[in-house]
Every structure is written in structure tokens, then in C-alpha cells.
Structure 1
């Protein structure tokens, strides 16, 4: 039985991805709507051939307005918002009727889904509100990195079992679509509309970080940090992004000071310890080298960051941490311990660990 859900997809020039997106969910929902904003490839034809209702829209440099237009076409009582470069990972194992029941009788409640952002062999994980009742009280706000609001306020949210894979952050996807330039332009316009708004400053900084423009990234992330506080849900992500920027710039004093605050505030945020361990490796001093195992052992102790609380990279508390411990013990000539950690990393699916084990054999 198909559930009473409208899947809403915003698309432009997604011929290569939209088929997989639709096929990952179309057997489980009653409606799929694609709002195409001017594709020059076969996006519309492919989507229609997969059973989606395709509507032609106009790109107006405002994702929030487009998403509001898109959900206005939905006819089912619940909406699941997807991007065309995403796919549902576990649709066959999801009880969609149960997920719907979580929202019934609570009109101000929306569901968060887990998004696995794929970039080569690295995966970052976050949770975003994407599943909500089809009601005029729900509307998106913001030109880009738009947020779903209920009567103008952040809705109460619950975690669903829906998991998505997202390929839009891969280097190839970014190059093909020129996403970085587009996102920067929209974010700067949004900042002009709302000066010093910490969420926008954060997203600008993170966009520069993804594009490896570290000077620009540090400027905006520092501004975001200065205008935010620990009552904001994205505050730990600001700290993580700024720490990652300092790491890439080799600004050790600032990094260590920031991590001291971050770890004190969020002692269970694995990625902060992982950045700390990575910094100790990059410092290349005897004193820093001695501290490396403590940092990565703490990562293993915690495991990967809880996506209900933090944005994190998969492996920071598992295969990547064990791999770095293997490197440390290999360099320390403790080959038995090195092999131990490489084996665990390998068993967790990290291919580079197999390469190190082969060298030690």
C-alpha cells in the first residue's frame, strides 16, 4: 500500500540523478511532484517517464519561494521534501504509516531525516527537517539554506527513520553545476537583507570552506561565532567548521583555544576531538606527537557523533580514528598495536587500512 505522502522535488538540469531519486521512493508514496526551474537537459522527460508530475517553474534566485510554490501543488496530507541529487537509502525498511502517525494530532510537529552527504570516500551526516503536514501554516524562509517554519516559528521536530544519500557536495557535482558561485551570490544577498544574521554568516563561511577559500571562510565563521551563542542549534556546527578552517590554515593557537571552549561546551562531540588529533599530527612536534593517541582514543570511546545532536563525519569515532591510531603506533614502532587498529579500521570498511596492513605483512 502506498502512503498518503507527496514527495516534492526541486530540479534543474538533473538528468543524471533524478531517475535514481524517484525510483528510490516511488513505490511507497502516492504522489511525486517535480518543479523544474529551466532545465536544458532531459530532466523533465526523465522525471515524467518515472511517473512524476512535472511542473515548469521559473528560477528567481530564491530557493525559499520556489519550495513554497512546489509544496502548493501537493495533494496528499503529508509532504516529504527531496532534492534531485538525493535518494532514499532505506525505503523498503521504513514503515511510512508509522512515520505519518508521529505527526498526526500534532500540527506543529515536523520530522527530521538523516542526510548522508557523499564526497568521495568521506561521508558527513546531519539531520534536517524535511517531513511535515501539508498545511498552509508550513512555509520556507530564506533565499538559500532555507528553513521550514510553522506560523513563522521553528516547528517542534522529531527524528524519523528516513535516511537519504546526497551527492551534491561531491567535487564533480560542484564543478558541473557551478554551485559554489551560485550559493555565494545568494548567501551574500541574504546577508544584505539581514546583516549580521549568524546562520547566514555560518553558511557563507562554510561555503568558502568547501571551496578551500580559507581566508574568506575564517572571516565569516568568526563573525558567525561572535554573533551566536550555545542556545542556537547550529552553534556546535559553527565551532566545528571554524576549527576545521583553522586546521587547514595551520592557525594552531586559535584552533587550540577554540577547541578548549568547544570541548568544554560539547564534551560528547566526537568531531572536535578528531580535529584536535588531526592538528596534533600536523603540528609535527615531539610534544604534540605524544598527545595523538589520547585524542583518537577519545574518538573511539565516543563513537561517531550523534546526528540528532551534531553534524559529523562518519568514521571520526570509528574507522578513521582507528586508522590514525594505527599510523601513530606504526610510527612509534609498536607494530602489534598498529596492526590491531588497522584491522579494526579495515573491518569497518576503510580501504586505506588494508594498504597499511599489506605493508606491515
Structure 2
């Protein structure tokens, strides 16, 4: 029996005027890719020159206002067993790139035809603006193709069977950095395609959602909200399952909250939770807004529904709520501290968060302040608080001691501070004094 051939991975991409990105885009997998195919749609800069210099095969495609058509042209020319189709402004970091072939081999064992990663949209500071699950790695020669002139989606006649690696496959995307986004806005390519599509298909609910997105990035929130309203009207009930309807509802509700139109925001909120009951972002929007306004009693039920959804339903969704889960616990613990009769809940939510991230010293202050307000003997309560703290913090470690002492002072919890004086060693007390003195001098 002959030796089994190694899996081959083809990288394909479509480009137009990507001279700033093309070199990085063709570098991340250079050592293990079987081939690199660049389909250029009319660049007037050095994109083609750089791609050829780096050894990529460059093909030309006459632009017809259809992203799916251009990407499918690229896929048709790939001969590898699997395809990686990242845009020119997307890339795997070095660590993730080294795992790509291992994950493909795992996908083969599992008999799936695609691997789901996460697009990390970066802002101008290099921070993560949002995280979106996306498929950029898929099996070749099984009919997988893109559909949709814009915001194209993968489809397969036999169905897409995705594999979520245990360690996430993160793909960094620079296209939302301010200067890059402005270039895209000025080019108007997406907006032109959307308008032409709506001329041909005026009842396309998804496309009105995409129109709203384009208007949002241009700062036209009122016009965007009108587009989102039209999209929701066209969907009707029940709303079809998918990210697009959810994003349309979330953005419209967010816009209405921003303009303090709570009556209409509540109307769409009830519509949303009825039609998309597993998405936590609708409650997150209201909970966060009431928290910002210091209306803590109103914030609590929304924030608790977020946690009930995310902790109680393995199929729950909510990009914002999931990516800001620590903030949800933080807002909830403080809201319960401020609300009447919810001190024990404040302690509970703070404790959960501190077990996950003990560096949240402001949450530790809430934890201690809540304990100090509990009914009963204050010294006995301080003893219980100390037991809880010692399950999280090592009071033989000077760094942990500093965090706990600062939080106790902010909380003005005298009984707990008295316990610290007995629990923390004299040596650590001396070292803490030095740290505080150094911090004061700097």
C-alpha cells in the first residue's frame, strides 16, 4: 500500500488596491501552503507587482459588482484539498498559523467540511472592536461556494458541517481601523452594490440591513434606523434564523436607546425576544443603559436575564454580552449593592467574577462593601468575608495583599481591616508599605 499523501492547503483571495496589506496577507502561511492564488479585480497600485514578487499566482477578474462571483472564480482555480480564503486585510497571527494544518487534520478525522474561526475586528488603537464567528477554512472539491453579491455567505449542497477547535482560531482584521474604513467609505463600492441590488430586489430584507450598516458607518443614524425598520418589516414574523436579522434588531434598538426613544426601543425589544429568544444582547443593551443612568433597580432584571440565558442555554448567542461577560457581572454586583435588599446577591455576583479575575479590585471593593452592609454581627460578617477572600487571594503573596488592602480601605470596612492586621505577616506589611511609598513617589 502506498504512503498516504499529505493534505494540501490552497490560499486564495480577491484584491483591489491592497498594496498596504498584500505582503502580510501572503506571509502568514508561506512555509506550509501548497499554493497562493491572488485574484485581482482591477488594482491601480502595486498589489499585483508585490503578489507576483512573493511568488503568488495572480489571476485577473473583471469586476461585476459581485463579491461571491469573484471569490468563486478564485475557488475554482484552487487545486488543494482545503482552501483558506482570507481577505487581504485579514491574517492569522504566528501562533495560530502554526496550528492551521493540525486543525485541518483534526477536521478530516471528524469528517467535517469546514473550520469555524473568529474574526477579530481591530480598531485604530489595535484593540479588539468585536469578535465574529466566521468560516475561512473549508474543504475543496465538495461544492462549497459563496452566494450573495455583497456580504457573501458560504453554502454547500450537502450542508456545511463545521468544526470549532478547542483553542480558537483567531483571524485579525484591520478593515475597521478608522483610516482604512474611511478609504472604503470614500470608494462607495459596497453602498453602490447594495443600492443596485435593492433596485432589482426591493423586498430583500437582508439588504436593507446591510444598507443600514453602511449608513451607520457614515454617521447617518436616522437614515440607518429607517433602513433597519424596513428590514424588520420585510422579515415579518417569525424572523428567519441568522446573524443578519439579530444584528439589524440590535443596532436599531441601540440607536433608539441612544436617542432616548424608550417607547419604540421597548417595542422592538419585545419583538426581538419573542423572535430571537436565545440572544442575550437585547437584554444587555437595556441593562447597560440603565446602569449608565444609575437606575440600578431597572438594570438588574435585564442583566440577570443575560446571565440566565448564557448560563442556562448552551445554544444561547449574544456577541456583545458574551465578549463583555465580566462587565455584566461587574454591573450586576454593583447594581445589587445599590438596590434595596440585594446585598447577598451583590456578594454572590462579585464572588463569581473575582474567582475568574481576581485583579478586579473595584469588584473586590463592592464585595467588601456589601458584606459590611449585611444584617447581623459585623465582626462575624467580617470573618465570613475573610474566608471568602482567602479562597481567592493568597495573603502570603505581597501582590495579593496589596489588592486586598486597597479594596478594604476603599470599602471603609474597619472590622475587615482589623482582621487583615492579624492575618498578614509583618514582613508583608513592611513590603506593602514600600510598594505604596514607591507608587506615591512615581
TM-score interval, smaller chain: 0.7 to 0.9
CA gap 1:348/1:58 in 2 versus in 1, 3 angstroms: farther
Match of 1:117 among 112, 115, 121: 121
d(CA) in 1 for partners of 2:214 and 2:258?
A: 15
Match for residue 165 of structure 1?
172
Residue aligning to 2:150: 144
Per the alignment, residue 133 of structure 2 pairs with 127
1:13 touches 1:42 (CA, 8 Å); kept in 2?
A: yes
CA apart distance, 1:99:
4.8
Displacement of 1:85 after TM fit?
0.8
Counterparts of 2:98 and 2:72, CA distance in 1? 29
Quote the Cα distance in structure 2 between the aligned partners of 1:181 and 1:35: 21
Higher helix fraction (1 or 2): 2
Write the distance in 1 (CA, Å) between the matches of 2:359 and 2:91: 22
Distance 1:159 1:192, change over 3 A: farther
Unaligned runs of 5+ in 1: none
In structure 2, distance between residues paired with 1:348 and 1:271: 26
Aligned residue number for residue 253 of structure 2 = 243
- Residue 66 of structure 2 is matched in structure 1 by 62
Match of 2:271 in 1: 261
RMSD, matched Cα: 4.2
| Range moving further from structure 2, 249-258 or 50-59 | 50-59
Cα offset for 1:60? 2.8
Separation of aligned partners in 2, 1:156 and 1:279: 38
Match of 1:190 in 2: 197
Question: Given that residues 120 and 128 in structure 2 are in contact (C-alpha distance below 8 angstroms), is that contact kept between their aligned partners in structure 1?
Answer: no
2:45 aligned residue = 41
User: Could you give the per-residue CA deviations for residues 243-275 of structure 1, whole angstroms, max 9, x where no partner exists?
Assistant: 223223332111122223323444442322221
Contact 2:19 2:46 in 1 (8 A): yes
SS in 2 for 1:23: coil
Distance 1:38 1:215, change over 3 A: same
Match of 1:53 in 2: 57
CA distance in 1, matches of 2:321, 2:15: 28
Give CA-to-partner distance per residue, 1:171-215, whole Å, 9 cap, x none: 221113336732111111112222211221221122222333111
Change (3 A) 1:328 1:187: same
Deviations 1:276-300 (A, max 9, x none): 1233246x4x7x4422244335445
Q: Of residues 92, 96, 99 in structure 2, which corresponds to 1:93?
A: 99
Answer yes or no: is the 8 Å Cα contact 1:209–1:245 preserved in 2. no
Q: 1:64 to 1:97 in 2, by over 3 A?
A: closer
Would you say 1:273 and 2:283 are equivalent positions?
A: yes
In the alignment, structure 1 residue 224 sits paired with structure 2 residue 200: no
Secondary structure, aligned partner of 1:222: helix
Secondary structure of the corresponding residue to residue 39 of structure 2: strand
Q: Distance in 1 between matches of 2:69 and 2:118?
A: 24
In structure 2, relative to structure 1, the CA distance for the partners of 1:306 and 1:85 (3 Å cut) is farther
Whole-angstrom distance in 2 between the partners of 1:327 and 1:212? 33
Would the aligned equivalents of 1:113 and 1:129 in 2 still touch at CA under 8 Å?
A: yes
Distance in 1 between the 2:316 and 2:327 partners? 20
- 1:224 deviation in Å? 1.5
Q: How does 1:302-321 map to 2 (within 5 A)?
A: 310=317, 312-313=319-320, 316-321=323-328
> What is the Cα deviation at residue 83 of structure 1?
0.5
The structure with the larger Rg is 2
Contact persistence 1:37–1:59 (CA under 8 A): yes
Structure 2 distance, partners of 1:304, 1:5, is 38
The 3-state SS of whatever aligns with 1:83 is coil
Find the aligned partners of 1:180 and 1:345 in 2 and give their Cα distance: 48
Q: How many residues align?
A: 352
The SS at the match of 1:227 is helix
Residue by residue over 1:311-352, the C-alpha shift from the partner in whole angstroms, topping out at 9 and shown as x without a partner, is 6137654243355458768988x9xx79x69x96995999x9
CA distance in structure 2 between the partners assigned to 1:68 and 1:314 by the alignment: 34
Structure 1 position 30 matched with structure 2 position 30:
no
- Cα gap change, 1:249 to 1:134, in 2 (>3 Å): same
Which one has a larger percent strand, Structure 1 or Structure 2? 1
* Structure 2, unpaired ranges of 5+: 364-402, 411-442
TM-score (norm 2): 0.65
Q: Is contact 1:140–1:149 with CA below 8 Å preserved after alignment?
A: yes
8 A Cα contact 1:304 1:316, kept in partner:
no
Q: Could you tell me how far apart the structure 2 residues matched to 1:176 and 1:144 are?
A: 18
